[in-house]
Amino acid sequence: MIQQAGNLIPPFLKEGDKVALVSPCYRLDPVKFASAVEFLRGWNLEPVVYPNPDRQYKGPYAGSPAERLAELEAAFRDPQTRAVICSRGGYGGIQLLPVLPPDLFRSDPKWLVGFSDITNFLAASLRQGVASVHGPMGSTFGDDPVSDTALRDLLFGKLPRYTIPADPRNCHGTASGILVGGNMTSLIPLLSTPWDPIIGDTVLYIEEIGETLHHIDRMWNTIALHGALEHVKAVIVGSYTESVTDIGFESAEEVIGNYADSLGIPVIYGFPAGHTKKNLPLLYGGKVTVVSGLEEASVLF
């Protein structure tokens, strides 16, 4: 098992491994759930589906908090299962944090995969010292073959090295740290709690969907007020999808740049990850180097 900057990298997958498809937040449409199962079989993996994948609670939830926690714990306690892939996000992860066993992710490290509200669990895994994957999950499998292939490569042992054209808004430079962050709405409540992932030298990745610009402004300032920016050595700005313009800025990126550009650290805009078809997987809790140049920007694990 590999260790990077104190965080364990779970054993990489091999063909024939069992992988659990779990729903710790909202419920995934049964047809899409079945499609995700077949998608994983196409990778020559053996999907494990827990009882009642059609379970529904209080509208969109995939079961009560106790049921969702039991499913998540069963997947991580199963010694035969080598990865736990979330079916979708939505909301509900934060409900489980106070009752997560303190050794759930560490006792038998295995890959946890997801994004959006799954940010809660990625952060919790990091605080238990285990890296995970911010990337495609059951609800988005098949949306972008490039992202899907990159996820499979990562899980099977090929760490990502991305190079994209430089965005004219980028702040140039080179910096290294542990990649943390995720969906801003899910990340902000974790600050200064036992699940806060922004500790030590970090590269902060952020993304969002459907938020007003004034709320994005508030969330950035909340990060600053908690003193978290003192740990940030570079910022990767992912996709800000369906942002609602309600203040005198043209975009979420302009709101973020109003603050981030004065930090004196590398800032990369337009990285293709988040709530968008192209959602390149990132090693959450892994050591990463960010290189922002005049012609291109690189994110190297």
Compute, in degrees rounded to 10, the torsion defined by CA atoms 79, 84, 90, 91. Answer: 30
10 and 104 share a domain? yes
For residues 280 and 293, give the distance between their C-alpha atoms in angstroms, rounded to a whole number. Answer: 20
Q: Give the model's pLDDT for residue 9.
A: 97
Cβ-based neighbour number of residue 3 at 10 Å: 10
Contact 50, 20 (CB under 8 A): yes
Q: Which is the catalytic residue, given 67, 71, 87, 116? A: 116
Nearest to 291 by CA among 273, 272, 266, 269: 266
Q: Indicate which CATH number applies to the domain containing 209.
A: 3.50.30.60
Return the residue matching tokens 């106790």.
66
Return the residue matching tokens 């937040």.
25
Question: Is 275 annotated in the active site?
Answer: yes
What does the pLDDT profile of the chain (301 residues) look like in tens digits?
A: 677 777 999 999 999 999 999 999 999 999 999 999 999 999 999 999 987 778 999 999 999 999 999 999 999 999 999 999 999 999 999 999 999 999 999 999 999 999 999 999 999 999 999 999 999 999 999 999 999 999 999 999 999 999 999 999 999 999 999 999 999 999 999 999 999 999 999 999 999 999 999 999 999 999 999 999 999 999 999 999 999 999 999 999 999 999 999 999 999 999 999 999 999 999 999 999 999 999 999 999 9
Provide the pairing of β-strand 202-209 with 232-241: parallel
Backbone φ, ψ for residue 226 (5° rounding): -80, 0
Q: Give the model's pLDDT for residue 197.
A: 98
Determine the distance from the C-alpha atom of residue 9 to the mean position of all C-alpha atoms in its chain, rounded to a whole number.
15
Q: Give the model's pLDDT for residue 33.
A: 97
For residues 219 and 242, give the distance between their C-alpha atoms in angstroms, rounded to a whole number. Answer: 17
For residues 83 and 75, give the distance between their C-alpha atoms in angstroms, rounded to a whole number. Answer: 8
135 and 253 share a domain? no
Q: Give the model's pLDDT for residue 1.
A: 67
Boundary-marking domain end, from 155, 189, 210: 155
149 and 176 share a domain? no
Q: Give the model's pLDDT for residue 54.
A: 84
Burial call 66-83: b when 16+ CB within 10 Å, e when fewer:
ebbbebbbbbbebeebbb
165 and 32 share a domain? no
Return the residue matching tokens 């035969």.
80
SS3 assignment, position 168: coil
134 and 177 share a domain? no
Boundary-marking domain end, from 155, 179, 195: 155
Q: How many domains does the chain have?
A: 2
Return the residue matching tokens 């030590």.
200
230 and 288 share a domain? yes
For residues 196 and 226, give the distance between their C-alpha atoms in angstroms, rounded to a whole number. Answer: 11
7 and 144 share a domain? yes
134 and 188 share a domain? no
Boundary-marking domain end, from 105, 131, 155: 155
112 and 251 share a domain? no
Q: Indicate which CATH number applies to the domain containing 106.
A: 3.40.50.10740
SS3 assignment, position 236: strand
Question: Is 207 annotated in the active site?
Answer: yes
Nearest to 69 by CA among 79, 59, 77, 80: 77
Length of the chain: 301
List the domain range (segments joined by +) for residue 95: 2-155
For residues 292 and 300, give the distance between their C-alpha atoms in angstroms, rounded to a whole number. Answer: 11
96 and 190 share a domain? no
212 and 194 share a domain? yes
10 and 151 share a domain? yes
SS3 assignment, position 86: strand
Residue 251 half-sphere exposure toward CB, CA atoms < 13 A? 12
Contact 236, 289 (CB under 8 A): no
Q: Which is the catalytic residue, given 125, 134, 186, 207? A: 207
Alpha helices in the chain (DSSP H): 30-41, 65-77, 93-96, 119-127, 145-155, 184-187, 213-225, 252-260
